[in-house]
């Protein structure tokens, strides 16, 4: 389950980065420093979650109840998804 959550998080971050870059390019021009900062932030977040997911995956047979740790990943991903949907809504409202 935790590996699937990491994939969902990756897709959400990719979509957010694409929307942010395209919106920023139309609004204020493409800024490479902001793009690189966003990529670095996403890479560190994904690396942290991937480390947790890998730990859960490798220890699932030896540590009882470690599967519940993957449930801890669900809440921040759900919050991030909600934040992304709100951003997309705001962009669509400004475009209309």
The predicted pLDDT at position 1 comes to: 57
Question: Residue 43, by phi and psi: left (phi above 0), alpha (psi -120 to 50) or beta?
Answer: alpha
Spatial separation of the C-alpha atoms in residues 74 and 1, rounded to whole Å: 10
Domain count, the chain: 1
pLDDT tens per residue, range 1-13: 566 767 777 787 7
Q: What is the pLDDT of residues 27-80, one digit of tens each?
A: 777 778 878 888 898 888 888 878 887 888 888 888 887 777 767 777 777 787
Provide the domain limits for residue 53: 2-95
Question: What pLDDT was estimated at residue 19?
Answer: 76
């Amino acid at each position: 389950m935790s590996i699937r959550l990491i994939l969902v998080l990756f897709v959400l971050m990719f979509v957010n980065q694409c929307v942010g870059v395209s919106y920023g390019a139309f609004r204020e021009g493409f800024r490479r420093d902001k793009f690189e900062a966003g990529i670095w932030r996403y890479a560190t977040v994904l690396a942290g979650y991937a480390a947790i997911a890998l730990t859960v995956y490798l220890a699932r047979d030896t540590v009882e109840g470690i599967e519940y740790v993957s449930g801890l990943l669900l809440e921040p991903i759900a919050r991030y998804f909600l934040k992304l949907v709100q951003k997309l809504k705001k962009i669509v409202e400004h475009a209309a």
